[in-house]
Amino acid sequence: MTLHCGLIGDPVEHSISPGIHHAFAAQTGVDLKYRKLRCNSDELAATVEQFFAEGGRGLNVTLPHKLAVMALCSDVSQAAQRAQSVNTLYARDGGGVEGSSTDGDGLVADLRRLGAPLTGARIALIGAGGAARAVVEPLLSAQPAELVWSHRNPLKLEQPVADFAGLGPLRPCANLALKGDRFDLVIHATSAGHAGQVPMLPHGLFAEGGWAYDLSYGQPAQPYLNWAEGEGAARVIDGHGMLIEQAALSFALWTGQHPDTAPLHR
């Protein structure tokens, strides 16, 4: 029986997820078809409902629906609730649709694969939107020495930091107040790169051997990674590996099979 899966978002044309999931399917021998479903916010509920009514197994969710789709789930994992972000929907055996987020665990899996500074490391996370929220709890689970969550307007961090209280050493900071601090890993999670920009950040953020990681991949990651290289970061990495790792975690939720991601990393 073919498992039908897909991606909902707007836009979705650019997505390379179908190729990733079809490669996992070929590798594991699972009969799975993955397609792109473009829908705007007004069409979201009807699209999701119809997909699962027709026997669909699971959906990935991308911008701008990661928050709104939570209202359509019968159940949302605790981590996804805290993150206020769902990137994976799957049909439950007894009926209903479960929502979870594999973005943050995908990031941590990629950082581990690369041997990036993580456990015991000083990590900065720049930006306070949905992309940043989705990775906070998995990063704290990896037990860094400290996770400094930084935003251009620190007032915007008050509620998010309260939402993750008690999960680990999380400290809010204003971007410009990072001056004088040094990090083993600086993760960029703002949308500035989509406009070809880099947030205003102080010089000297990278500790000796410090890494830079951008949650986006391809062109939008370049402004930050170029800046980080100029600042002396030892390694600069875009989010292509995170995309593959989060896809593998979604694939496992839908199929029960854990694909080997190594052949897909470039």
Q: Decide the pairing of beta strands 88-91 and 58-61.
A: antiparallel
Q: How far is the CB of 109 from ligand ATR (least distance, A)?
A: 20
Quick one: 89 or 264, whose CB is closer to ligand ATR?
A: 89
- Decide if 247 contacts 106 (C-beta within 8 A): yes
In angstroms, the CA 32 to CA 255 distance is 9
- Residue ranges binding ligand ATR (CB under 6 A): 127-132, 151-153, 156, 190-192, 197, 199
Angle at alpha carbon of residue 75, lines to 63 and 81, rounded to 5°:
55
Helix (H, G, I), strand (E, B) or coil at 43: helix
**Two tokens, residue 104:** 């943050």
Q: Closest residue to ligand ATR, Cβ-based?
A: 129
Q: How far is the CB of 260 from ligand ATR (least distance, A)?
A: 29
Q: How far is the CB of 153 from ligand ATR (least distance, A)?
A: 5
Quick one: 199 or 241, whose CB is closer to ligand ATR?
A: 199
Could you give the count of Cα atoms lying within 13 Å of 58 in the half-sphere of its Cβ?
Answer: 25
Q: First and final CA of the chain: distance in angstroms?
A: 32
Kindly list the catalytic residues.
Answer: 66
In angstroms, the CA 13 to CA 246 distance is 19
Quick one: 129 or 218, whose CB is closer to ligand ATR?
A: 129
Q: How far is the CB of 172 from ligand ATR (least distance, A)?
A: 12
